[in-house]
Structure 1
């Protein structure tokens, strides 16, 4: 439980710093957009190179991966179907689907996996599934949606391989699979730049909480409730059911699947929403609700399965 508290407390503290500097007038709302863009185009790709290059790709090819994937697919699909009632654009539906299923596997999942589960590698299936599959596809749709019409297949495929986050992931994947190591003169600055990704995103999020639209903004209450329930309840329950009943996973491995699926919506979703100006308030508020709600959710998972 110490790891759960430490992970969430660290994130809350950095977000609070962003809200504080906004409240004191040190920065304005424009600074949130600048930080988000720097994180999207520079810092996060660098972080992905270092993170993915050190990951054990073999950890992804497991039964846990399938359970995790189904846990992602079910809430995302439910949202995409339900979003028709709110007449969301393709890009907005992507952000809503990500808000319902894209977990904070990086800056929160890694420390919680290390402290709560005893092995940071246990978050690898979730982390790499998102980086290698979910995120590239979502960003491709967002890129194509920016042209103001239904995205074409060619545009989707092009977007997968031209987005900076996808490129960072692919470079890291190449390094991991080949065992190559970047020269220190290259790796050192990449690591330094990547280190600003997480705090940059969290500070930008804090600025938005203080200076952006009030909680809920123009987002229908039912939509925010749906994304939050899908993320906090449906995703971990589906992952647990598939892992336990379909694959016979139990014990510590089952706990790992459920804990990783119980993590809150990732701040990356807010960065994507800001970058493409799609459903920003929905992403921001879902992150807030699920970050608060994930504390008892993870604690309950540990209590019941630990």
Structure 2
């Protein structure tokens, strides 16, 4: 219980600091945008490279990995079905809604939370690996397409293969697959830059809330509430069904699978949408609502399953 509360308090305090920095004028003008661009172009790639290069690729075929894929797919498809029936949104907003419904905040909350609660970051790292290898490339490709109207296949491919997030992830996985050992003099600065990724994204997110009214004018409220409900309630339920009934998990393994699925929408969804200017308000408001709404869900899970 204390681990859940501690993890949420850490994230919330940094978001609040970002809001305060914007409120007091320290982050004025395009300050939040600068933070986002630094996170997108340098800090997050460094983080993903360091994580991927040290990953155990055997986890790609583990039950936790397959369960994470199923939970994400179930959440995303649930949103897509609701959107098709009720919202009839365009491609970009639908993709952002689908991703917001299933992309878990493993970096900022998942890693510290699983460490505090379970004493092991392995479970969150598996989902981080899945999201990096499978979800992020597809999401970024969709954002590139949505931001440019109807771009050519060549433009999408060029933008995709020159994307720092994709390049860093691919490089890290290559290092892990080949079993290379990166010299400490190279990894040390990468680790230092990687350590700034989470604070930068959280500060940028908090700063973006200054002057904004979540669920206020201009916010796609039905879409935000739908994505938030799916992320907070439906996705953990899917994860439980898949883990318990599909893979026969129990005890700590089952609790870990459900707890990670109950994480709020990752700030990276907001960061990516802000980078490409696609459905930014939907992503921002869903991140905020799920960060608040998933807290009681995770507390209940800790009480019932831990």
TM range (shorter): over 0.9
Q: Do the aligned residues in 2 keep the contact of 1:29 with 1:208 (CA within 8 Å)?
A: no
Partner of 2:148: 147
C-alpha displacement at 1:81, in angstroms?
A: 3.1
Partner of 1:283: 283
Partner of 1:129: 130
What SS does the aligned partner of 2:218 have? coil
2:257 is equivalent to residue 244 of structure 1: no
2:256 is equivalent to residue 256 of structure 1: yes
2:211 is equivalent to residue 199 of structure 1: no
Q: Trace 1:11-160 onto structure 2 (pairs within 5 A).
A: 11-84=11-84, 85-149=86-150, 152=153, 160=160
Structure 1 residues 291 and 251, CA, compared in 2 at 3 Å: closer, same or farther?
same
Q: Trace 1:182-193 onto structure 2 (pairs within 5 A).
A: 182-193=182-193
User: Whole-Å Cα distance in 2 between the matches of residues 144 and 96 of structure 1?
Assistant: 16
Q: Do the aligned residues in 2 keep the contact of 1:60 with 1:124 (CA within 8 Å)?
A: no
Q: Do the aligned residues in 2 keep the contact of 1:216 with 1:285 (CA within 8 Å)?
A: no
Structure 2 unaligned blocks of 5 or more: none
Q: Deviations over 1:1-34 (max 9, x none)?
A: 2221111111111111111111112222511111
C-alpha displacement at 1:169, in angstroms?
A: 0.9
C-alpha displacement at 1:158, in angstroms?
A: 5.3
User: Whole-Å Cα distance in 1 between the matches of residues 94 and 173 of structure 2?
Assistant: 28
Structure 1 unaligned blocks of 5 or more: none
User: Whole-Å Cα distance in 1 between the matches of residues 219 and 87 of structure 2?
Assistant: 10
Structure 1 residues 122 and 196, CA, compared in 2 at 3 Å: closer, same or farther?
same
User: Whole-Å Cα distance in 1 between the matches of residues 76 and 32 of structure 2?
Assistant: 27
C-alpha displacement at 1:151, in angstroms?
A: 6.7
Structure 1 residues 159 and 81, CA, compared in 2 at 3 Å: closer, same or farther?
farther
User: Whole-Å Cα distance in 1 between the matches of residues 76 and 255 of structure 2?
Assistant: 22
What SS does the aligned partner of 2:118 have? coil
C-alpha displacement at 1:62, in angstroms?
A: 1.3
Q: Do the aligned residues in 1 keep the contact of 2:214 with 2:285 (CA within 8 Å)?
A: no
C-alpha displacement at 1:83, in angstroms?
A: 2.8
Q: Deviations over 1:271-305 (max 9, x none)?
A: 01100111111111111111112221112222222
User: Whole-Å Cα distance in 2 between the matches of residues 162 and 105 of structure 1?
Assistant: 25
User: Whole-Å Cα distance in 1 between the matches of residues 6 and 152 of structure 2?
Assistant: 42
What SS does the aligned partner of 1:119 have? coil
Structure 1 residues 214 and 292, CA, compared in 2 at 3 Å: closer, same or farther?
closer
Structure 1 residues 264 and 151, CA, compared in 2 at 3 Å: closer, same or farther?
farther
Q: Do the aligned residues in 2 keep the contact of 1:77 with 1:97 (CA within 8 Å)?
A: yes
TM-score (norm 2): 0.93
What SS does the aligned partner of 2:190 have? helix
User: Whole-Å Cα distance in 2 between the matches of residues 232 and 151 of structure 1?
Assistant: 37
What SS does the aligned partner of 2:92 have? helix
Partner of 1:173: 173
Q: Deviations over 1:32-78 (max 9, x none)?
A: 11111111111100111111222222223212222211110112112
C-alpha displacement at 1:245, in angstroms?
A: 1.2
User: Whole-Å Cα distance in 2 between the matches of residues 126 and 18 of structure 1?
Assistant: 27
What SS does the aligned partner of 1:60 have? helix
C-alpha displacement at 1:215, in angstroms?
A: 3.9
Alignment coverage as a number of residue pairs: 305
User: Whole-Å Cα distance in 1 between the matches of residues 26 and 47 of structure 2?
Assistant: 27
C-alpha displacement at 1:184, in angstroms?
A: 2.5
What SS does the aligned partner of 1:235 have? helix
